[in-house]
Amino acid sequence: MLTQETARKWIDLFIEQILENKDYLSELDTAIGDGDHGNNLARGANALTEALQTKNPETLPDLLKVTGMTLVSKVGGASGPLLGSAFIGMAKASQDSDDLATVLEAGLEGIQKRGKAVAGEKTMVDEWIPVVEAVKSKTLTSAFIEETVEKTKDIKATKGRASYLGDRSIGHIDPGAMSSSYLFKTMMEAGVYDE
Ligand code: ADP
Ligand code: MG
């Protein structure tokens, strides 16, 4: 169930997961980008911890909004503003709905409005699109989350920094898809998604 309480647990677990996997995410980004993805998100995770402590947002829309604004303003690189836009989109949608699929779909729209990526360009969108569909059809599992990240290996990047590599981007996992997979796994762990 999507509530302020489960979402707070979700964000706390996501912060933990990012900090734990910071080096791995940067390693993935070293292969097809500039090697800063883990560091970018870790900066965001630390800023988030502080923002949530000082602002202590008490409603679901406020919580999602503080999260989004912090990621947009504190994270360098493409991923912060993109993930931040997702949370800002989710914050707006959560004012009128507590349906997870609806709220996540608004998050995906936020990413796509900002970054203009569509399916099949080897970005975090390739993680978000199948996961949103699986939430809609109530078929999401953590195995599915892992499979979709793995599938980004086969894609040739045509958006973002990895697109400079062309065919050489094939065979590598997209770092942003991996960090989004942490977002969705912690979403399940926190009980935001009803299995
Ligand atoms: P930067 O590319 O500026 O160094 P990061 O390394 O933090 O930023 O993030 C890279 C990730 O951002 C990529 O792996 C990809 O998933 C995601 N990304 C890049 N451009 C876009 C875009 N236009 N739309 C969606 N996601 C994108
Ligand atoms: Mg990078």
Q: Report pLDDT digits (tens) over 136-169.
A: 999 999 999 999 999 999 999 999 999 999 999 9
More confident residue, 194 or 83: 83
CB 117 within 8 Å of CB 142? no
- Contact present, 104 and 138 (Cβ < 8 Å): no
pLDDT for residue 170 is more than 90: yes
> b/e map of 174-190 (b: 16 or more CB within 10 Å)?
bbbbbbbbbbbbbbbeb
Instruction: Report the b/e string of 158-173 with b at 16+ CB within 10 A.
Output: ebbbbbebeeebeebb
Q: Is the per-residue pLDDT at 110 higher than 90?
A: yes
Q: Are 29 and 38 in contact (CB under 8 A)?
A: yes
Q: How far is the CA of 37 from the centre of ligand 2 (A)?
A: 5
Task: Encode pLDDT of 58-103 as tens digits.
Answer: 999 999 999 999 999 999 889 999 999 999 999 999 999 999 999 9
pLDDT of the residue at 83: 98
Share of the chain above pLDDT 90, in %: 98
Cα of 77 from ligand 1 centre, angstroms: 7
Per-residue pLDDT at 195 exceeds 80? no
Task: Work out the average pLDDT over 20-46.
Answer: 98
Question: Of all protein residues, whose CA lies closest to atom 6 belonging to ligand 1?
Answer: 37
Q: Which residues surround ligand 2, an ion (CB under 5 A)?
A: 29, 33-34, 36-37
Taking alpha carbons only, the member of 190, 147, 143, 172 closest to residue 3 is: 190
pLDDT at residue number 194: 85
- The residues, any chain, with a CB within 8 Å of residue 49's CB and separated by 6 or more, are 15
Residue 167 has a pLDDT of 96
* Residue ranges around ligand 1 (CB below 6 Å): 29, 33-34, 36-37, 40, 77-79, 82, 111, 115-117, 123-125, 159-161, 174-177
Residue with tokens 């399916």: 119
Q: Is the pLDDT of residue 8 over 90?
A: yes
Examine the pLDDT at 25 and tell me if it is beyond 90. Answer: yes
CA 2 to chain CA mean position, Å = 17
Confidence of residue 46 (pLDDT cuts 50, 70, 90): very high
Say whether pLDDT at 135 is over 90.
yes
Instruction: Compute, in angstroms, the gap from residue 15 CA to the centroid of ligand 2.
Output: 18
Task: For residues 105 and 90, give the distance between their C-alpha atoms in angstroms, rounded to a whole number.
Answer: 8
Ligand 2 centroid vs 35 CA: distance in angstroms? 5
Closest residue (by CA) to atom 1 of ligand 1?
77
